[in-house]
Amino acid sequence: MLLTQPKTENTSLQYLQPSSETEGEISPNQMLAPLTARVNESDRLEIGGCDVTELLAQFGSPLYILDEYTLRTACRQYRDAFIRHYPGASQVIFASKAWSCLAVCAVIASEGLGFDVVSGGELYTTRQAGISADRIYFHGNNKSREELQYAYSEGCTIMVDNWLELEMLAEIATSETPIAIMVRLTPGIECHTHDYIRTGHLDSKFGFDPNQLPEVFTWIRDRPQLNFIGLHAHIGSQIFERQPHQDLGGVMVEWLQSAIAAGLQVKTLNIGGGLGIRYTEADDPPSIEEWVGAACRAVVKACDTHNLPYPKLMCEPGRSLVGSSCVTAYTVGSRKEIPDLRTYIAVDGGMSDNPRPITYQSVYRAVLANRMSAPLSETITVAGKHCESGDVLIKDAKLPQTRAGDVLVVLGTGAYNNSMASNYNRIARPAAAIVNEGEASLILERETYADLIRQDRLPQRLRES
């Protein structure tokens, strides 16, 4: 870490430190702040060599700030860990629902990763970013015929989720130009995470049940327009345990063996993603290296047990690639003190740029970027500006004495913040900037009031005379 001051437990500096358990190369998902975070001589937070307070003066507030170095480091750690731990071919795919925009796609693609998209819009974004179709995999539990036709015309691989999709694809594709498909299954593996982000248990809207496998395999085998290349499963998100993915590897190899026995040339397994990140000091996720190693060993062991050649092995991280690489900077506004109960400060954003606290009860950490070494003397609830009592970003945050105009930075906001942002209360979505080696570039323009009504239509009869 590039810190100019020693670690101090009672200041914001503590949030820039690796966990005490971290050894060797730092895994970005185990950090609260981006890898380049440091405190400059003015006692202000810098990311990517850029002063955060100055970035707000340049680009406005609130502002997403993406550290390119941290994002690239996570991509390389995933890619290189598979090379080290898996003797067969491998491919890391970014779950772009975490943050789909042209610049994020371009950075990740330049590191050799592929892309998981879940809508026609995400597919369009990746294609506009210059991503080749053979690196794009189209997910989703209710793809429309139009989306499937679009994906087929572009030449990407379809992750088939249900019978309706199989039937539509058989009608859309031709034997002269078959469509590459993978089949998603629910493995029935539980993991300890929020109910809304558990997708591997049997009671899930995603994927075929394993008992449907024989019928699915027979149905696909009889349709030459469907090029069945592999199997897919995903068991959830923000997972800290290693065992579920080790169990998943063994289960998926058994499915692979069943497909081969049914006469299908299946050569690819996608074990999904789900590795968690460190949002608070209490979080203790495995490193990228540890997660990849455990998953690879499970697949290798199962293949050796069943005397099967090693399939191409894929995974699709999202949060653990981009989550820790971004922060959101706000400007502090009003303050409300309720004696013997709570003190609120309000910032110029909230649930429209970060809906995760109100949706998932997610917990974050924050720092005052303009006074990093100030003691954490207050317990504050950080509220947003929306007309909603539940618009609270952080309850009981430990912060210095705050005042209007301070720059408050919420850490770990790269995943599912911009991508789930809304215009609730007709609040414009923030801008985003990417920083690297002292340079900052805008990657998302701030919405204007005009943008908010751009799609509105006012019938003539409703206009004032």
Question: Which residues does residue 91 pair with via DSSP β-bridges, in sequence order?
Answer: 314
Q: Which of 152, 87, 77, 84 shows the shortest CA–CA distance to 108?
A: 77
- Residue 181: count other Cβ atoms within 10 Å of its Cβ: 23
Cβ atoms of residues 364 and 413 within 8 Å: yes
What's 86's DSSP letter? -
CA–CA gap between residue 161 and residue 206 (Å, rounded): 6
- What residue spans in the chain does CATH classification 3.20.20.10 cover? 139-317
Query: Annotated catalytic sites, by residue?
Result: 387
C-alpha span between 101 and 236 (Å, rounded): 23
Strand, helix or coil at 294? helix
Side chain identity at 263, as an amino acid letter? G
CATH topology of domain 139-317: TIM Barrel (3.20.20)
- Non-local CB neighbours of 302 within 8 Å, separated by 6+ positions: 249, 250, 252, 253, 254
Cα 183 to Cα 131: distance, rounded to the nearest angstrom: 23
H or E stretch including 452?
helix 449-452
Taking domain 12-67+323-451, whether its CATH number is 2.40.37.10 is answered by: yes
Tracing tokens 């970005």 back to the chain, one arrives at: 28
pLDDT tens for 210-247 read 888 999 999 999 999 999 999 999 988 899 887 887 88
Q: Round to whole Å and give the CA distance between 92 and 112.
A: 8
Distance CA 458, CA 421 (A): 25
Which residue spans of the chain are classified as CATH 2.40.37.10? 12-67+323-451
Based on the number of CB atoms within 10 Å of its own CB, is 384 exposed (0-12), middle (13-18) or buried (19 or more)? Answer: buried
pLDDT tens digits for the chain (465 residues)? 344 444 556 888 888 876 555 556 899 999 999 999 999 999 999 999 999 999 999 999 999 999 999 999 999 999 999 999 999 999 999 999 999 999 999 999 999 999 999 999 999 999 999 999 999 999 999 999 999 999 999 999 999 999 999 999 999 999 999 999 999 998 866 544 434 334 444 567 788 888 889 999 999 999 999 999 999 999 888 998 878 878 899 999 999 999 999 999 899 999 999 999 999 999 999 999 999 999 999 999 999 999 999 999 999 999 999 999 999 999 999 999 999 999 999 999 999 999 999 999 999 999 999 999 999 999 999 999 999 999 999 999 999 999 999 999 999 999 999 999 999 999 999 999 999 999 999 999 999 999 999 999 999 999 875
Q: What is the DSSP string of 173-239?
A: --SSS-EEEEEEB------SS-GGG--SSSSSSSSB-GGGHHHHHHHHHT-TTEEEEEEE----SSB
Nearest to 267, CA basis, from 308, 220, 215, 295? 308
Q: Which two tokens stand for residue 371?
A: 């006074």
pLDDT at 21: 52
416: region left, alpha or beta (phi > 0 left; psi from -120 to 50 alpha): left
pTM above 0.75, yes or no: yes
Half-sphere exposure (CA, 13 Å, Cβ side) for 419?
Answer: 24
Q: d(Cα 210, Cα 404) in Å, to the nearest integer?
A: 57
Q: Is 257 helix (H, G, I), strand (E, B) or coil?
A: helix
Half-sphere exposure of 208 (CA within 13 A, CB side): 23
**Distance between CA 268 and CA 284 in Å, rounded?**
31
What are the residues whose beta carbons fall under 8 Å from the beta carbon of 110, sequence distance 6 or more?
A: none
Tell me what pLDDT residue 205 has.
79
* Closest of 148, 92, 146, 104 to residue 128, by C-alpha: 104
Measuring CA to CA, which residue among 290, 416, 406, 404 is closest to residue 364? 416
